[in-house]
Amino acid sequence: MPITSSTHPPQSMLPHGLAGRLFGRLMEQFNRGAYARAVSLIDLPTEGSVLELGFGTGRLLEMLAVKSTDGFFAGIDASPLMVATARRRLDRRHVARDLRQGNAEYLPWPEDSFDAVAALHCFQFWADPVSALCEVQRVLRPGGTFLLILRRHGARDAERLPNPWSRTPHEIEDVFSLLKKAGFEARRELPDARNSPIIVAKV
């Protein structure tokens, strides 16, 4: 899924319109391995609360809701189409949810709200990653988990990414040291089947 040079945001950054629906379906197929890894790495109590940044079609939240039947599932995504898609999906399962349209850089929830925060393949779209990481730390409860799955991208695609850290060849190292500076205890997990780097951080 390459980043295009069109004046519209690429589908991967902001799924929209009819093509966005199709993109959502393809993305779900493409990311199956990443969702499975995420579910195995997020240890949620049955009544746990989780926040996903850039949740797309909501497939990961749905998988987590199957595991934590009395849990609470929140999320923020920039795309109105993805918000509507994910809301429908969770409502079919009667999941307690709070899915909003917005940006990862500003999280409209009080501090210490969540047991876990997840972000899959969307870090590269955050124009202000420092603010987003501070927000993650603010809304996570002490002992909570932040799961970050990065997306491998080629050098040409990287040039056009909004996140300045994702435009460099040392993205993972930079994320890692900032997490540590921000007080997270971070470790790397083996990458998923698509070679997406995985970072698990605890506060």
Ligand X SMILES: C[S@@+](CC[C@H](N)C(=O)[O-])C[C@H]1O[C@@H](n2cnc3c(N)ncnc32)[C@H](O)[C@@H]1O
86 binds ligand X (CB under 6 A): no
Number of neighbouring beta carbons within 10 Å of residue 110:
8
74 binds ligand X (CB under 6 A): no
Tokens 């990311």 identify what position?
A: 31
Binder among 72, 73, 125, 184 for ligand X (CB under 6 A): 125
79 binds ligand X (CB under 6 A): yes
Segment lying near ligand X (by CB under 6 A), choices 6-14, 42-50, 171-179, 184-192: 6-14
Rounded Cα gap, residues 165 and 123, in angstroms? 9
- Smallest gap from residue 110 Cβ to ligand X (A): 19
164, exposed or middle or buried, with CB in 10 Å at 0-12, 13-18, 19+?
middle
DSSP 69-116: TT-EEEEEES-HHHHHHHHHHHHHTT-EEEEEES-TTS--S-TT-EEE
53 binds ligand X (CB under 6 A): yes
27 binds ligand X (CB under 6 A): yes
DSSP 68: S
Binder among 4, 10, 14, 36 for ligand X (CB under 6 A): 14
Interface residue list for ligand X (CB under 6 A): 12-15, 27, 31, 53-56, 76-79, 82, 103-104, 120-122, 125-126
